[in-house]
Amino acid sequence: MPVRVIESKQNARLKELRKALAGTGRATARLAGIEGPHLLEEALRARLRVAAMFVAQGSEGLIEAIHLPPETEILRLPKKLLDAALATETPQPVAALVEPPEWQWDHMLGVRKRTAPLVIVLAGVQDPGNLGTILRSAEAFGATGVVSLPGTVSAWNPKAVRASAGSVFRVPLMTANENDCSERLREAGVRVLATTSHAAQPANLVDMAGPIALVIGNEGNGVADDLIARADAKVTIPCPGPVESLNAAVAASVLLYEAARQRGLPHPFSGTVRRDGKRVGKHMLPESGRRGTAR
């Protein structure tokens, strides 16, 4: 597989990567930047088109290990040059420009899967780590999609992509304004539940087995009053401890679990087998608890 050598920071592809990783994670309307071999492998498993792979000198072995399609442009460059383009404190030896998937409302509403919609609506979530964690939980608990309203951080922000651990490549994800989102959900018969700690029903007493959308608000201010007014109901997570509210990603994850529970969680040791032979959907442990016994 041919490898092109880059020696200058003025290289056009390298500029694209820098731009993609500088903020939103999108270099152009069609390319996003990712960093590290794990995310690149996840993107390939999700069948995303990889436009270009950047590999640091001394790490060329990763080129063969990752099994790139023949049409992918491969660029080798000095480690210092690649490090300068990356967004992390401890840069990885590999980065890439990928083409994000295009999702439609049919995907978002579960039409193609013939399942009751379970949509997360992000209304002003600003921490990319929270957004990425929400995407991961959305995939884990069977959400049909995630909608980002204005004021929400980009899902292709490098920190959000890392926090999602690859879920950003697979979970249907769209951006929409409040009016369009409300209209689409209403037309599809989706019940909108606004999350709030004030005058709301406990999550375990709310029917989440049917078509629902959970609105998750800004980390500091919660869901805006106008969005609460549009909602069909308000939902809260009862906390016996002296805590007024939960982190946005924690709250979304708890509510997604409750929705999945009401819809009938799979047996802890059941699951399906992917095309690569790995079993998914079975009992899930935190990353720290997958080796040995948790203490």
Express each pLDDT in 103-118 by its tens digit: 999 999 988 778 899 9
pLDDT for the residue numbered 29: 59
Query: What residues contact 48, with CB distance under 8 A and at least 6 apart?
Result: 98, 99, 100, 101, 169
pLDDT for the residue numbered 291: 40
For the chain, how are helix, strand and coil distributed in percent, rounded to 5? 35, 20, 45
pLDDT for the residue numbered 282: 47
pLDDT for the residue numbered 271: 46
pLDDT for the residue numbered 268: 46
Structure tokens at 6: 């880059």
C-alpha 129/C-alpha 157 separation (Å) is 9
Domain ranges of the chain: 4-99, 105-263
Domain with residues 4-99, CATH architecture: 2-Layer Sandwich (3.30)
pLDDT for the residue numbered 114: 81
pLDDT for the residue numbered 294: 35
Q: Which residues pair with 50 in a beta bridge?
A: 98
Query: What residues contact 243, with CB distance under 8 A and at least 6 apart?
Result: none
Residues 260 and 212 sit within 8 Å (Cβ to Cβ)? no
CA-wise closest residue to 17 among 71, 92, 103: 92
pLDDT per residue of the chain (295 residues) written in tens, 0 to 9: 688 998 998 999 999 999 988 866 555 558 999 999 999 999 999 999 999 999 999 998 888 889 899 999 999 999 999 999 997 888 999 999 999 999 999 999 988 778 899 999 999 999 999 999 999 999 999 999 999 999 999 999 999 999 999 999 999 999 999 999 999 999 999 999 999 988 899 999 999 999 999 999 999 999 999 999 999 999 999 988 988 778 999 999 999 999 999 999 774 444 443 434 444 454 454 554 444 333 3
Q: Which CATH code for domain 105-263? A: 3.40.1280.10
Q: 29-52 pLDDT, tens per residue?
A: 589 999 999 999 999 999 999 999
33 sits in which H/E element: strand 32-35
Count Cβ atoms within 10 A of the Cβ of residue 145 and give its class: 0-12 exposed, 13-18 middle, 19 or more buried.
buried
pLDDT for the residue numbered 2: 81
